[in-house]
Structure 1
Amino acid sequence: MGGKITYFFLATVLVLVFGVVAMEGVLLLLTGEPAAMGMGAVAFALPVIGAWFLWHNTRFARSAHRLAREMAAEEGPAGEEPRRTPGGRIDRDAADAIFAERQAETEDAPGDWRAWFRLAVAYHDARDTPRARKAMQRAITLHDSAPADA
Protein backbone atom coordinates (compact mmCIF):
# COMPACT_ATOMS: atom_id res chain seq x y z
CA MET A 1 0.00 0.00 0.00
CA GLY A 2 2.92 2.33 0.67
CA GLY A 3 3.98 2.11 -2.97
CA LYS A 4 0.56 3.24 -4.15
CA ILE A 5 0.56 6.20 -1.81
CA THR A 6 4.04 7.22 -2.90
CA TYR A 7 3.10 6.85 -6.58
CA PHE A 8 -0.07 8.90 -6.11
CA PHE A 9 1.81 11.61 -4.20
CA LEU A 10 4.60 11.87 -6.79
CA ALA A 11 2.12 11.83 -9.68
CA THR A 12 0.16 14.65 -8.03
CA VAL A 13 3.33 16.70 -7.55
CA LEU A 14 4.27 16.04 -11.17
CA VAL A 15 0.86 17.20 -12.41
CA LEU A 16 1.21 20.37 -10.35
CA VAL A 17 4.64 20.99 -11.88
CA PHE A 18 3.15 20.40 -15.33
CA GLY A 19 0.54 23.05 -14.55
CA VAL A 20 3.13 25.60 -13.43
CA VAL A 21 5.31 24.97 -16.48
CA ALA A 22 2.31 25.24 -18.82
CA MET A 23 1.26 28.52 -17.21
CA GLU A 24 4.78 29.89 -17.59
CA GLY A 25 4.68 28.77 -21.22
CA VAL A 26 1.46 30.70 -21.77
CA LEU A 27 2.95 33.80 -20.14
CA LEU A 28 6.00 33.55 -22.41
CA LEU A 29 3.75 33.16 -25.45
CA LEU A 30 1.88 36.33 -24.49
CA THR A 31 5.03 38.47 -24.38
CA GLY A 32 5.09 38.83 -28.15
CA GLU A 33 8.86 38.51 -28.44
CA PRO A 34 9.94 35.77 -30.87
CA ALA A 35 12.56 34.17 -28.58
CA ALA A 36 10.21 34.17 -25.59
CA MET A 37 7.38 32.81 -27.73
CA GLY A 38 9.60 29.93 -28.88
CA MET A 39 10.53 29.11 -25.29
CA GLY A 40 6.86 29.39 -24.34
CA ALA A 41 5.84 26.93 -27.03
CA VAL A 42 8.44 24.44 -25.80
CA ALA A 43 7.45 25.06 -22.17
CA PHE A 44 3.84 24.41 -23.13
CA ALA A 45 4.69 21.23 -25.07
CA LEU A 46 6.79 19.62 -22.31
CA PRO A 47 3.88 19.12 -19.88
CA VAL A 48 1.81 17.56 -22.67
CA ILE A 49 4.56 15.03 -23.39
CA GLY A 50 5.12 14.45 -19.67
CA ALA A 51 1.40 13.90 -19.07
CA TRP A 52 1.33 11.32 -21.88
CA PHE A 53 4.24 9.42 -20.29
CA LEU A 54 2.59 9.61 -16.85
CA TRP A 55 -0.70 8.28 -18.25
CA HIS A 56 1.08 5.50 -20.17
CA ASN A 57 3.03 4.34 -17.10
CA THR A 58 -0.01 4.56 -14.83
CA ARG A 59 -2.04 2.46 -17.26
CA PHE A 60 0.79 -0.10 -17.43
CA ALA A 61 1.05 -0.30 -13.62
CA ARG A 62 -2.71 -0.70 -13.22
CA SER A 63 -2.83 -3.45 -15.85
CA ALA A 64 0.08 -5.32 -14.27
CA HIS A 65 -1.56 -5.04 -10.85
CA ARG A 66 -4.84 -6.33 -12.31
CA LEU A 67 -3.02 -9.38 -13.68
CA ALA A 68 -1.27 -9.93 -10.34
CA ARG A 69 -4.63 -9.91 -8.53
CA GLU A 70 -6.07 -12.34 -11.05
CA MET A 71 -3.06 -14.67 -10.71
CA ALA A 72 -3.32 -14.55 -6.91
CA ALA A 73 -7.04 -15.37 -7.09
CA GLU A 74 -6.40 -18.33 -9.41
CA GLU A 75 -3.26 -19.77 -7.88
CA GLY A 76 -3.31 -18.53 -4.29
CA PRO A 77 -0.30 -16.88 -2.70
CA ALA A 78 2.86 -16.45 -4.78
CA GLY A 79 4.76 -19.66 -5.41
CA GLU A 80 8.44 -19.90 -4.82
CA GLU A 81 10.14 -16.91 -3.30
CA PRO A 82 13.82 -16.69 -4.24
CA ARG A 83 16.44 -16.86 -1.50
CA ARG A 84 17.54 -13.54 -0.10
CA THR A 85 20.90 -12.31 1.09
CA PRO A 86 21.31 -11.29 4.74
CA GLY A 87 20.84 -7.69 3.56
CA GLY A 88 17.42 -8.53 2.10
CA ARG A 89 18.30 -8.50 -1.60
CA ILE A 90 17.33 -11.41 -3.82
CA ASP A 91 20.19 -13.90 -4.22
CA ARG A 92 21.45 -13.69 -7.79
CA ASP A 93 22.00 -17.47 -8.21
CA ALA A 94 18.53 -18.28 -6.88
CA ALA A 95 16.96 -15.70 -9.16
CA ASP A 96 18.86 -17.12 -12.15
CA ALA A 97 17.66 -20.65 -11.36
CA ILE A 98 14.03 -19.55 -11.12
CA PHE A 99 14.48 -17.48 -14.28
CA ALA A 100 15.65 -20.57 -16.23
CA GLU A 101 12.50 -22.44 -15.14
CA ARG A 102 10.23 -19.54 -16.08
CA GLN A 103 11.91 -19.10 -19.45
CA ALA A 104 11.42 -22.80 -20.28
CA GLU A 105 7.79 -22.57 -19.14
CA THR A 106 7.21 -19.58 -21.43
CA GLU A 107 8.88 -21.31 -24.38
CA ASP A 108 6.55 -24.30 -23.86
CA ALA A 109 3.44 -22.10 -23.75
CA PRO A 110 4.14 -18.87 -25.65
CA GLY A 111 0.45 -17.93 -25.81
CA ASP A 112 -0.18 -18.17 -22.06
CA TRP A 113 -0.28 -14.80 -20.33
CA ARG A 114 0.36 -16.47 -16.96
CA ALA A 115 3.70 -17.82 -18.17
CA TRP A 116 4.69 -14.38 -19.46
CA PHE A 117 3.63 -12.81 -16.17
CA ARG A 118 5.78 -15.25 -14.18
CA LEU A 119 8.66 -14.63 -16.63
CA ALA A 120 8.31 -10.87 -16.05
CA VAL A 121 8.57 -11.41 -12.30
CA ALA A 122 11.64 -13.62 -12.83
CA TYR A 123 13.26 -10.93 -15.00
CA HIS A 124 12.52 -8.38 -12.28
CA ASP A 125 14.03 -10.63 -9.62
CA ALA A 126 17.11 -11.05 -11.83
CA ARG A 127 17.32 -7.21 -12.00
CA ASP A 128 16.64 -7.01 -15.73
CA THR A 129 14.00 -4.27 -15.69
CA PRO A 130 13.73 -3.57 -19.45
CA ARG A 131 13.06 -7.24 -20.24
CA ALA A 132 10.72 -7.51 -17.25
CA ARG A 133 8.68 -4.63 -18.64
CA LYS A 134 8.58 -6.15 -22.14
CA ALA A 135 7.49 -9.53 -20.74
CA MET A 136 4.79 -7.85 -18.64
CA GLN A 137 3.57 -5.90 -21.68
CA ARG A 138 3.34 -9.20 -23.56
CA ALA A 139 1.38 -10.75 -20.66
CA ILE A 140 -1.03 -7.81 -20.64
CA THR A 141 -1.51 -8.00 -24.41
CA LEU A 142 -2.16 -11.75 -24.30
CA HIS A 143 -4.56 -11.39 -21.37
CA ASP A 144 -6.54 -8.57 -22.95
CA SER A 145 -6.76 -10.29 -26.34
CA ALA A 146 -7.83 -13.66 -24.90
CA PRO A 147 -11.50 -14.66 -25.15
CA ALA A 148 -13.50 -13.92 -22.00
CA ASP A 149 -14.27 -17.59 -21.29
CA ALA A 150 -10.64 -18.74 -21.56
Structure 2
Amino acid sequence: MKGKIAVIVMAVLLVFYLVLAGVRATLFIQSGEPVGILIGLGLLILPLIGFWALVREVAFGIRSERLVRQLDALGGLPAADLPTRPSGRPYRDAADEHFPAARAEVEAEPGNWHAWLRLGLAYDASGDRKRARRAIRTAIALERAPK
Protein backbone atom coordinates (compact mmCIF):
# COMPACT_ATOMS: atom_id res chain seq x y z
CA MET A 1 0.00 0.00 0.00
CA LYS A 2 2.90 2.36 0.73
CA GLY A 3 4.09 1.89 -2.84
CA LYS A 4 0.73 2.92 -4.27
CA ILE A 5 0.63 6.02 -2.10
CA ALA A 6 4.16 6.92 -3.18
CA VAL A 7 3.19 6.57 -6.85
CA ILE A 8 0.14 8.78 -6.38
CA VAL A 9 2.19 11.44 -4.59
CA MET A 10 4.86 11.33 -7.30
CA ALA A 11 2.24 11.62 -10.04
CA VAL A 12 0.61 14.62 -8.38
CA LEU A 13 3.99 16.30 -7.88
CA LEU A 14 4.94 15.60 -11.49
CA VAL A 15 1.71 17.16 -12.78
CA PHE A 16 2.35 20.20 -10.55
CA TYR A 17 5.89 20.40 -11.92
CA LEU A 18 4.63 20.09 -15.51
CA VAL A 19 2.27 23.02 -15.01
CA LEU A 20 4.99 25.20 -13.48
CA ALA A 21 7.53 24.17 -16.13
CA GLY A 22 4.97 24.83 -18.87
CA VAL A 23 4.38 28.35 -17.61
CA ARG A 24 8.12 29.04 -17.44
CA ALA A 25 8.70 27.42 -20.83
CA THR A 26 6.07 29.67 -22.39
CA LEU A 27 7.78 32.73 -20.94
CA PHE A 28 11.17 31.62 -22.25
CA ILE A 29 9.78 30.87 -25.72
CA GLN A 30 7.96 34.23 -25.84
CA SER A 31 11.22 36.02 -25.12
CA GLY A 32 12.15 35.58 -28.77
CA GLU A 33 15.82 35.04 -27.89
CA PRO A 34 17.36 31.88 -29.40
CA VAL A 35 18.77 30.76 -26.04
CA GLY A 36 15.45 31.46 -24.33
CA ILE A 37 13.59 29.45 -26.95
CA LEU A 38 15.98 26.50 -26.50
CA ILE A 39 15.59 26.65 -22.71
CA GLY A 40 11.81 26.83 -23.12
CA LEU A 41 11.79 23.78 -25.39
CA GLY A 42 13.96 21.91 -22.92
CA LEU A 43 11.57 22.81 -20.13
CA LEU A 44 8.75 21.30 -22.19
CA ILE A 45 10.51 18.18 -23.46
CA LEU A 46 12.29 16.91 -20.32
CA PRO A 47 9.21 16.84 -18.07
CA LEU A 48 7.25 15.09 -20.81
CA ILE A 49 9.90 12.38 -20.92
CA GLY A 50 9.57 12.06 -17.14
CA PHE A 51 5.81 11.85 -17.43
CA TRP A 52 6.09 9.14 -20.12
CA ALA A 53 8.43 7.14 -17.85
CA LEU A 54 6.04 7.48 -14.92
CA VAL A 55 3.05 6.34 -17.00
CA ARG A 56 5.03 3.37 -18.29
CA GLU A 57 6.06 2.32 -14.78
CA VAL A 58 2.54 2.71 -13.39
CA ALA A 59 1.16 0.63 -16.27
CA PHE A 60 3.80 -2.04 -15.60
CA GLY A 61 2.85 -2.10 -11.93
CA ILE A 62 -0.87 -2.39 -12.64
CA ARG A 63 -0.41 -5.14 -15.23
CA SER A 64 2.06 -7.14 -13.16
CA GLU A 65 -0.14 -6.89 -10.07
CA ARG A 66 -3.12 -8.11 -12.12
CA LEU A 67 -1.12 -11.12 -13.34
CA VAL A 68 0.02 -11.97 -9.81
CA ARG A 69 -3.62 -11.87 -8.64
CA GLN A 70 -4.67 -14.12 -11.54
CA LEU A 71 -1.88 -16.60 -10.84
CA ASP A 72 -2.71 -16.56 -7.14
CA ALA A 73 -6.38 -17.28 -7.92
CA LEU A 74 -5.24 -20.28 -9.98
CA GLY A 75 -3.05 -21.46 -7.10
CA GLY A 76 0.07 -21.05 -9.20
CA LEU A 77 2.14 -18.69 -7.08
CA PRO A 78 5.38 -20.13 -5.76
CA ALA A 79 5.39 -21.05 -2.09
CA ALA A 80 6.10 -18.13 0.18
CA ASP A 81 7.97 -20.26 2.70
CA LEU A 82 11.39 -18.70 2.11
CA PRO A 83 13.21 -17.49 5.21
CA THR A 84 13.24 -13.71 5.24
CA ARG A 85 15.31 -10.90 6.65
CA PRO A 86 13.73 -8.47 9.12
CA SER A 87 13.00 -6.22 6.11
CA GLY A 88 10.80 -8.95 4.61
CA ARG A 89 13.13 -9.70 1.70
CA PRO A 90 14.08 -13.38 1.36
CA TYR A 91 17.64 -14.48 1.96
CA ARG A 92 19.34 -14.75 -1.40
CA ASP A 93 20.74 -18.26 -0.84
CA ALA A 94 17.28 -19.60 -0.02
CA ALA A 95 15.74 -17.84 -3.02
CA ASP A 96 18.47 -19.09 -5.35
CA GLU A 97 17.53 -22.69 -4.51
CA HIS A 98 14.07 -22.20 -6.11
CA PHE A 99 15.44 -20.47 -9.19
CA PRO A 100 16.50 -23.52 -11.29
CA ALA A 101 12.97 -24.97 -11.19
CA ALA A 102 11.48 -21.69 -12.43
CA ARG A 103 14.04 -21.44 -15.23
CA ALA A 104 13.43 -25.06 -16.26
CA GLU A 105 9.69 -24.40 -16.42
CA VAL A 106 10.24 -21.48 -18.83
CA GLU A 107 12.58 -23.57 -20.96
CA ALA A 108 9.95 -26.34 -21.12
CA GLU A 109 7.06 -23.94 -21.91
CA PRO A 110 8.43 -20.67 -23.34
CA GLY A 111 4.96 -19.48 -24.39
CA ASN A 112 3.38 -19.87 -20.94
CA TRP A 113 2.93 -16.56 -19.11
CA HIS A 114 2.51 -18.39 -15.79
CA ALA A 115 6.05 -19.78 -16.13
CA TRP A 116 7.51 -16.40 -17.06
CA LEU A 117 5.80 -14.72 -14.12
CA ARG A 118 7.12 -17.35 -11.71
CA LEU A 119 10.59 -16.84 -13.23
CA GLY A 120 10.26 -13.09 -12.70
CA LEU A 121 9.25 -13.65 -9.08
CA ALA A 122 12.24 -15.98 -8.63
CA TYR A 123 14.59 -13.35 -10.09
CA ASP A 124 13.08 -10.74 -7.79
CA ALA A 125 13.47 -12.97 -4.73
CA SER A 126 17.12 -13.52 -5.72
CA GLY A 127 17.66 -9.77 -5.93
CA ASP A 128 18.04 -9.50 -9.72
CA ARG A 129 15.51 -6.77 -10.38
CA LYS A 130 16.56 -6.11 -13.99
CA ARG A 131 15.95 -9.70 -15.08
CA ALA A 132 12.82 -9.89 -12.92
CA ARG A 133 11.30 -6.94 -14.74
CA ARG A 134 12.26 -8.38 -18.13
CA ALA A 135 10.67 -11.76 -17.29
CA ILE A 136 7.53 -10.11 -15.95
CA ARG A 137 7.28 -7.91 -19.06
CA THR A 138 7.49 -11.12 -21.13
CA ALA A 139 4.69 -12.63 -19.02
CA ILE A 140 2.56 -9.52 -19.59
CA ALA A 141 3.16 -9.64 -23.35
CA LEU A 142 2.34 -13.36 -23.51
CA GLU A 143 -0.85 -12.94 -21.47
CA ARG A 144 -2.01 -10.01 -23.63
CA ALA A 145 -1.21 -11.74 -26.95
CA PRO A 146 -4.21 -12.93 -28.94
CA LYS A 147 -4.83 -16.61 -28.45
**TM-score over 0.5 (shorter chain):** yes
Q: Distance in 2 between matches of 1:140 and 1:100?
A: 21
Aligned length in residues: 147
Query: Displaced runs of 4+ in structure 1, greater than 3 A?
Result: 85-89
User: Structure 1 regions of 5+ residues with no counterpart?
Assistant: none
The yes-or-no answer on 1:129 pairing with 2:129 is yes
RCO higher in 1 or 2 (8 Å CA, sep ≥ 6)? 2
- Please say which of residues 2-11 and 126-135 is displaced more in the overlay: 2-11
User: Structure 2 regions of 5+ residues with no counterpart?
Assistant: none
Q: Distance in 1 between matches of 2:49 and 2:87?
A: 39
Q: Which residue of 2 aligns with 1:18?
A: 18
Q: 1:39 to 1:12 in 2, by over 3 A?
A: same
- Could you tell me how far 1:76 is from its partner in structure 2? 7.0
- Could you tell me how far 1:18 is from its partner in structure 2? 2.0
**Pairing of 1:51-70 with structure 2 (within 5 A):** 51-70=51-70
Q: Which residue of 2 aligns with 1:71?
A: 71
**Pairing of 1:128-147 with structure 2 (within 5 A):** 128-147=128-147
Identity of matched residues, %: 36
Q: Distance in 1 between matches of 2:67 and 2:86?
A: 31
* Native 8 Å contact 2:68 2:77 kept in 1: no
- The aligned amino acid for 2:33 is E
Q: 1:146 to 1:95 in 2, by over 3 A?
A: farther
Q: 1:123 to 1:11 in 2, by over 3 A?
A: same
- Could you tell me how far 1:12 is from its partner in structure 2? 1.2
* Native 8 Å contact 1:82 1:98 kept in 2: no
Q: Deviations over 1:73-103 (max 9, x none)?
A: 1117752332123564321111111112211
**Pairing of 1:75-86 with structure 2 (within 5 A):** 75=75, 79-85=79-85
- The aligned amino acid for 2:9 is F
Q: Which residue of 1 aligns with 2:50?
A: 50
- Please say which of residues 82-91 and 103-112 is displaced more in the overlay: 82-91
RMSD: 1.7
